[in-house]
Each structure stands twice: as C-alpha cells, then as structure tokens.
Amino acid sequence: MKMENVLQPRAFRMTSQRRTILEELRNCRWHPTADEVYERVRRKLPRISLGTVYRNLEVLALQGTIRKLDICGRQKRFDADPRMHCHVRCLECGAMDDLPLGDSTLSRAIGEIDASYEIREVRLEFLGLCPKCKAPERACRDRDTRRGHSGGVGRPDT
C-alpha cells in the first residue's frame, strides 16, 4: 500500500476529474447524456464510475458552468454552453443542435418579460428532421409512397 495514494486529498482528485469531465463534455457538440460523457471520460480515467461522472455533471450544472437539459427524451442531456439558447432535435436520429437566440423575435420577447421577471433559463425545443435524415433517400421515397394511401384525407387541397 502506498500511503501517498491513501492520503491523496480528495478535493484535488475531484477537481481534476471534474476538469476532465468538463473537457469531454465540451468536445461533444451533440448534448450528450451522462452515459455518453461517462463513456468518453472512462477512456482517460478508466477507474471512474458513472455515479461520479453524474455527480460532477450535476455540480457543474449547479455552478452554472454547464446546462442540464431535462426537456427532451427520457435521459437528461448536458450542454457545455451555459448561455441562453434553444435547441432543435431530430425526430429520426435524436441529434440535437443549438439554436442561438441572436436578435430573434424570441429574444426580444424574453427582453419584454424581463421587465417583471428575471429570466434565467429558456426551455424551448424545436422538433424536426436534421439535414442528414431529411436527405432524399430511397427509404424516404418509400415512406412517402405509403403515406400517399392515407395522407391528404380531410386535408383541403391547396
């Protein structure tokens, strides 16, 4: 038994783990789940547990360093970008992209609400097909053909 290992300050170890977790999250632009962050962190810190990764993600979210997204899907996802922004999610593959608010109507609306409320977070998610899933493929055409049998019922022709 090496005494150095036993006496290693816990706080320091947590900090270096947390830094690695944060680095890995920042390398994932697709808003990964805790499991996905864990899979990546494990390659660098093979002895880390999922619980440790999850706890550190929670702490980072509480600190405001990252964001915890709990509006989409069954599993919570984490976002390395703590700034206020919205998301667009693909219904086919689950890919999730950032939607910066910029000077949009939405950001102006938030500005108006801000007069009476202090807005800290926006939970708005757009759902659709990502460029990859939207791409014209045989599968898509098949789907459209099938849809042709039932589609259009009760819908006025334009």
Shortest separation between residue 69's beta carbon and Zn ion, angstroms: 7
**Measuring CA to CA, which residue among 86, 83, 70, 81 is closest to residue 34?**
70
Nearer to Zn ion, 72 or 90 (CB): 90
86 labelled binding-site residue: no
Cβ atoms of residues 55 and 45 within 8 Å: no
Nearest to 123 by CA among 79, 65, 91, 62: 79
Q: Which is nearer to Zn ion, 39 or 98 (CB)?
A: 98
Compute the distance between CA of residue 127 and CA of residue 125 in angstroms, rounded to an integer: 6
Q: Which is nearer to Zn ion, 51 or 93 (CB)?
A: 93
At its nearest, how many Å lie between Zn ion and the CB of residue 103?
Answer: 18
28 annotated as ligand-binding:
no
Name the phi and psi angles at 75, rounded to 5: -100, 140
- Residue 8 CB, shortest distance to Zn ion, in Å, is 35
What type of residue is 43?
A: R
**Least distance between Zn ion and beta carbon 81 (Å):** 5
Strand partners, 33: 77
Query: Would you tell me which residues interact with Zn ion (CB under 5 A)?
Result: 79, 90, 92-93, 95, 98, 130, 133
Nearest CB to Zn ion, comparing residues 58 and 98: 98
